[in-house]
């Protein structure tokens, strides 16, 4: 039974991936900060751990888990707005959560995979890492860094039999905007099947995992059908 470590597993894409892996027979360690959400996952049979990934001291024991699959999913979106008006604390928080914590956790887990000559590392990226969005400069920067890191890491790990995949997600119906946009605006974003569901992303991840070991999917883009281009212009909006 393969072991999987999933970060940001208490909601959205991370929760869907953790449950999908569990339902297909993987032993899943779900990481997150929300104790109640972790308790719900535990009731479903998943192993859980409450952790703040931005605290390096919390990563020490994770390497001992020796997972076969690492899903670097945890992330956040800073307040929307012009970069010139951004609070430096919000910038630091975004960089620490979306980039520094990801690098630190991967550094803790990847050497073991290299030694065992087996493993698969996933990163939840974004179309915002591959195309510009106004009022999202810091978020775009962190996701662009994740994209570059994932592709370079794949080259580092490929000779050792470890696969690396970047998930480039378009508009997905998650709680990412809960603290940033009013309910009415969020409802409009997701109306009329204008968003991918977290379970769709999880299904794609399982499909990638099921490919032969000789196949490495460097990245996959998953977008709503109506999202014609990465920057978000849809057929309905055109």
CATH number of the domain at 121, please: 3.40.50.720
Q: 10 Å Cβ neighbour count for 232?
A: 17
| Within-domain flag for 227 | no
- The predicted structure's pLDDT at residue 226: 74
Look at residue 4 in the predicted model and tell me its pLDDT.
98
Number of domain units in the chain: 1
The answer to whether residue 230 sits within a structural domain is: no
Does 231 reside within a domain?
no
**Residue keyed to tokens 């956790």:** 105
Domain membership of residue 49 (yes or no) is yes
The pLDDT value given to residue 35: 96
What pLDDT, on a 0 to 100 scale, did the predictor assign at position 170? Answer: 85
- Domain for residue 24, yes or no? yes
Which residues are catalytic, by number?
A: 139
Asked if the structure places residue 238 within a domain, the reply is no
Per-residue pLDDT reduced to its tens digit, 32-72: 999 999 999 999 999 999 999 998 887 878 888 899 999 99
Residue 223: strand, helix, or coil: coil
In tens digits, the chain (238 residues) has pLDDT values of 799 999 999 999 999 999 999 999 999 999 999 999 999 999 999 999 999 999 888 787 888 889 999 999 999 999 999 999 999 999 999 999 999 999 999 999 999 999 999 999 999 999 999 999 999 999 999 999 999 999 999 999 999 999 999 999 888 876 665 655 556 655 555 655 668 899 999 999 999 999 999 999 999 999 888 765 554 444 444 3
Q: Which domain holds residue 137?
A: 3-222
3-state SS class at 81: coil
The total number of residues written for the chain in this structure = 238
What pLDDT score does 165 carry?
98
For the record, the structure tokens of 123 come out as: 């990163």
Under 8 Å between Cβ of 75 and 124: yes
């Amino acid at each position: 039974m393969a072991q999987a470590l999933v970060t940001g597993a208490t909601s959205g894409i991370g929760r869907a991936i953790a449950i999908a892996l569990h339902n297909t027979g993987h032993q899943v360690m779900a990481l997150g900060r929300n104790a109640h959400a972790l308790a719900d996952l535990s009731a479903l049979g998943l192993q859980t751990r409450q952790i703040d990934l931005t605290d390096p001291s919390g990563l020490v024991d994770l390497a001992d888990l020796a997972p076969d699959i690492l899903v670097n999913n945890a992330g956040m979106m800073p307040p929307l707005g012009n970069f010139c008006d951004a609070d430096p604390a919000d910038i630091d928080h975004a960089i620490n959560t979306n980039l520094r914590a990801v690098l630190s956790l991967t550094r803790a887990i990847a050497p073991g995979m290299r030694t065992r000559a087996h493993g698969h590392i996933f990163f939840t990226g974004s179309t915002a890492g591959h195309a510009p969005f106004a009022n999202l400069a810091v978020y775009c920067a962190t996701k662009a860094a994740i994209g570059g890191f994932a592709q370079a890491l794949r080259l580092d790990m490929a000779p050792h039999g470890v696969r690396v995949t970047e998930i480039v997600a378009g508009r997905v119906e998650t709680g990412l905007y809960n603290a940033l946009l009013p309910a009415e605006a969020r409802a409009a974003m997701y109306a009329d099947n204008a968003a991918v569901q977290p379970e769709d992303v999880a299904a794609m991840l399982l499909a990638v995992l099921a490919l032969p070991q000789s196949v490495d999917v460097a990245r996959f883009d998953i977008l709503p059908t109506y999202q014609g281009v990465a920057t978000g212009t849809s057929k309905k909006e055109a």
